[in-house]
Amino acid sequence: MSRQTPNSASSSEAKGRAAAAVIEAEPPASEASVEARKAEQKARIKGLDRETLIELYYQMLLVRRFEEKSAESYSMGKIGGFCHLYIGQEAVAIGAISVIRRDDYVLTSYREHAHALAKGMTADSVMAELYGKATGCSKGKGGSMHMFDKRVGFLGGHAIVGGQIPLATGVAFASKYQGTDQVTLCFFGEAAVNQGAFHESLNMAQLWKLPCIYICENNQYGMGTSLERAMSLKDISLKARAYELAGEIVDGMDVLAVREATERAVARARKESLPTLLEVRTYRFMGHSMSDPGNYRTRAEIEHHQERDPLKLFFATLVETETASEKELADLDKRVREEVAQSVRFADESPEPDPAELYTDIYANPLVSSEAVY
């Protein structure tokens, strides 16, 4: 299912392979049949201990239940502003972030509740931020799109499409410059790769050998525009070759496939200080945001992908390999629902930010006249 390109390729080799790969383009990983995917996941499970596997399932479940609750609270008017849900994509953030350290960095887009939770932020602080409360991770001033917690290396939450890509490149540069062995994971959607900043960043990362892992979450849509309508080269992983980076297509519905591919990339970054581009093929089950009427795709298309639900797949694998019983996983679900319910109570009962907070944590240039017209 995955295809790798080594860093060491000479440019003529790389050109030859790129041309061949365009012709032999593989079917999207997200299209693989449920049975084929299950067989692959069962093969991957070998060698992983039970504790790690249950933790991965717990984290995916936490994100799923957290977001279902967020949708409910949003509909009740408890959450304001934009709210982009991640349901369907859980295997990507959870699989990738499971192989990095607390002192490594993660940057992503506005669809970031999962990444924040996976990096170690509490459900309380993320939910309170959604509610715009003073106890939220950004003191209630950021909301859904601007989660941040320096203590766990979660550097946002970025609303400008592709805006986090050069920032992550800079963070990786800083780690290298300071001589640490930290790595940076930079997540973004497939629509962001059409931005100039993506290309500038990949070029610099390979030229300067930066420990940055670029993770493109290809969910096949940028708002209501499908990848087919927006991209001349649909095989995003090939874009790595333009800059001689290692590149790989990954099945984004299989948490273990994402984990393995990220492990390879992290080793490359940590030991050799080299970047990687992972194209992780996934699908979002919900609208672009809570206000998306969704009239650009059919219900049948969504249902087709829901058969490949990463949580359903992992549940089946855990049960069929006798790693866990159905009862055990149902009990875990109960505990997760309670943890999420607790975060809602915490957010509900937390105070609103003090009006004086309007003047803190803002960037303003005091040299610019207050009479300036913007």
CA distance 73 to 126: 13
| 252 sits near ligand TPP (criterion: CB under 6 A) | no
User: 117 or 329: whose CB is closer to ligand TPP?
Assistant: 117
CA distance 164 to 162: 5
Q: What x-and-dash track marks residues 25-64 binding ligand TPP by CB under 6 A?
A: ----------------------------------------
| 221 sits near ligand TPP (criterion: CB under 6 A) | yes
Residue with tokens 């497939």: 190
**Assigned token pair, 166:** 């050069």
Which of ligand TPP, Mg ion, none lies near 159, with the C-beta cut-off 5 to 8 A by kind? ligand TPP
CB of 201 to ligand TPP, least distance (A): 15
| 155 sits near ligand TPP (criterion: CB under 6 A) | no
Candidates 13-21, 46-54, 165-173, 220-228 — which segment interacts with ligand TPP by CB under 6 A?
Answer: 220-228
Spell out the residues 6+ positions from residue 18 whose beta carbon is closer than 8 angstroms to its own: 238, 241
Considering only 37, 38, 64, 111, the residue that binds ligand TPP (CB under 6 A) is 111
User: 222 or 275: whose CB is closer to ligand TPP?
Assistant: 222
| 190 sits near ligand TPP (criterion: CB under 6 A) | yes
User: 174 or 227: whose CB is closer to ligand TPP?
Assistant: 227
Q: How far is CA 186 from the centre of its chain?
A: 8
User: 40 or 279: whose CB is closer to ligand TPP?
Assistant: 279
| 219 sits near ligand TPP (criterion: CB under 6 A) | yes
CA distance 21 to 24: 5
Considering only 93, 192, 250, 257, the residue that binds ligand TPP (CB under 6 A) is 192
**Assigned token pair, 87:** 């349901």
| 133 sits near ligand TPP (criterion: CB under 6 A) | no
CB of 265 to ligand TPP, least distance (A): 20
> Buried (b) or exposed (e) across 7-45, using 16+ Cβ within 10 A?
bebeeeebeebbeebeeeeeebbbbbeeeebbebbeebb
Q: Taking Cα atoms as reference points, which of 117, 92, 251 lies closest to residue 186?
A: 92
**Assigned token pair, 174:** 């800083």
CB of 112 to Mg ion, least distance (A): 14
Q: Taking Cα atoms as reference points, which of 266, 173, 261, 174 lies closest to residue 213?
A: 266
Q: Report phi then psi at 247, rounded to 5.
A: -140, 150
| 287 sits near ligand TPP (criterion: CB under 6 A) | no
Considering only 73, 98, 169, 219, the residue that binds Mg ion (CB under 5 A) is 219
Which of Mg ion, ligand TPP, none lies near 288, with the C-beta cut-off 5 to 8 A by kind? ligand TPP
Q: Taking Cα atoms as reference points, which of 157, 285, 281 lies closest to residue 216?
A: 281
| 189 sits near Mg ion (criterion: CB under 5 A) | yes
CA distance 250 to 260: 9
Give the CA distances from residue 170 to residues 38, 123, 201, 317, in Å, rounded to whole numbers and listed in that order: 39, 29, 9, 39
CB of 282 to ligand TPP, least distance (A): 9
Site size toward Mg ion, by CB under 5 A: 4
Which residues lie near ligand TPP (CB under 6 A)? Answer: 109, 111, 159-161, 189-192, 219, 221-223, 288
Question: Which positions lie near Mg ion, rule CB under 5 A?
Answer: 189-190, 219, 222
